[in-house]
Structure 1
Amino acid sequence: MYHRIVAAQVRKAFAEISAGNWEAMVAGMAPTFTYRFYGDHALGGERHTHDALRRWWERCFRLLPDTRFDVQDVLVAGWPWNTRVATAVTVHVGVVDGTHYQNVVHQFLRLRWGKITEVRTLEDTAVLEKTLNRLATTGYPEAHATPITD
């Protein structure tokens, strides 16, 4: 039963972000956490503070304002004091320049007593970097900004 509840919460979190409410995800982070998005690009890097994570989400939605997540799988293991979650998600993105792209995201989370302590996000970086490069060359310099870290 616990695993089904956690899976439903994860699906709800992706739905909230798809609706533009990324702040709900930030609120779900533990006081001490690691949020890692793999890749050497403007959205890559590692964050450990709520402030840095907010700035990262703000950048995401400036560059990729119309983002929708379709969750394919949510796998949950462990118990409330050490829960592990793996997701497989397709992301459909309306890019700030009016184009669209689709990508595959795998995310691994660790929760402790209902709060997220670790997020590792792996997205097809070739697809993402191609989009960021196009944006940078067509008037969106933030697409080539240094990663937001703390």
Structure 2
Amino acid sequence: MYHRFVAAQVRKAFAEITAGNWEAMVEGMAPTFTYRFYGDHALSGERHTHEALRRWWQRAFRLLPDTQFTVDEILISGWPWNTRVATAVTVDCGLADGTRYQNVVNQFLRMRWGKITEVRTLEDTAVLQATLDRLAAAGYSEAHAAPITDLVPTA
């Protein structure tokens, strides 16, 4: 029963983000957390503060507006004091340069008592990097900006 509840919460979180309400996800983070997006690009990096995560979501939606997230699979193990969640999510959005961005995201989360303590995001970085390169070539310089972290200010 607990695992079904967590799965429903994860689906709800992705539905909220799809609706543009990424703040609900930020509020779901524990006071101490790690949010890591793998790669070496404008959306990569590691964040540990709610403020840095907000700046990251703002950038993500500037670069990839109206992103639609479709949850394909959720795997859950553990109990409220140590829950592990794995997701496979399809990402799709139209871009300002007239092309489409489509990719698959795999996220691995850890939760403790209903709050997220760790997120590790893995995406096909070749597809993402090609998209960011197209956006930068179309004049969106933020597509090649330094990653947003707790230590590096945004451009």
Deviation at 1:6, TM superposition (A): 0.2
Measured in 1, the distance between the counterparts of 2:112 and 2:88 equals 21
Give the aligned partner of residue 102 of structure 2: 102
Measured in 1, the distance between the counterparts of 2:129 and 2:27 equals 28
Give the aligned partner of residue 63 of structure 2: 63
Cα deviations across residues 47-79 of structure 1 (Å, max 9, x unaligned)?
000000000000000010110011010111000
Give the aligned partner of residue 50 of structure 1: 50
RMSD: 0.6
1:125 aligns with 2:129: no
Give the aligned partner of residue 7 of structure 2: 7
Aligned residue pairs, count? 150
Give the aligned partner of residue 22 of structure 1: 22
What fraction of aligned residue pairs are identical, expressed as a percent? 81
Q: Which runs of 5+ in 1 are unaligned?
A: none
SS at match of 1:66: coil
Alignment-mate amino acid for residue 74 of structure 1: I
Deviation at 1:137, TM superposition (A): 1.2
Give the aligned partner of residue 72 of structure 1: 72
Measured in 1, the distance between the counterparts of 2:106 and 2:67 equals 16
TM-score by length of 2: 0.95
Cα deviations across residues 71-92 of structure 1 (Å, max 9, x unaligned)?
0101110000000000011111
Q: Does the CA contact (< 8 Å) of 1:62 and 1:96 recur in 2?
A: no
Cα deviations across residues 20-43 of structure 1 (Å, max 9, x unaligned)?
000000000000000000000000
Measured in 1, the distance between the counterparts of 2:115 and 2:109 equals 10
TM-score by length of 1: 0.98
Measured in 2, the distance between the counterparts of 1:78 and 1:30 equals 17
SS at match of 2:26: helix
Measured in 1, the distance between the counterparts of 2:21 and 2:98 equals 21
Deviation at 1:97, TM superposition (A): 2.5
Measured in 1, the distance between the counterparts of 2:21 and 2:121 equals 19
Alignment-mate amino acid for residue 25 of structure 1: M
SS at match of 1:126: helix
Give the aligned partner of residue 31 of structure 1: 31
Measured in 2, the distance between the counterparts of 1:45 and 1:61 equals 16
Q: Which runs of 5+ in 2 are unaligned?
A: 151-155
Alignment-mate amino acid for residue 117 of structure 1: T
Measured in 2, the distance between the counterparts of 1:49 and 1:145 equals 20
Measured in 1, the distance between the counterparts of 2:112 and 2:131 equals 35
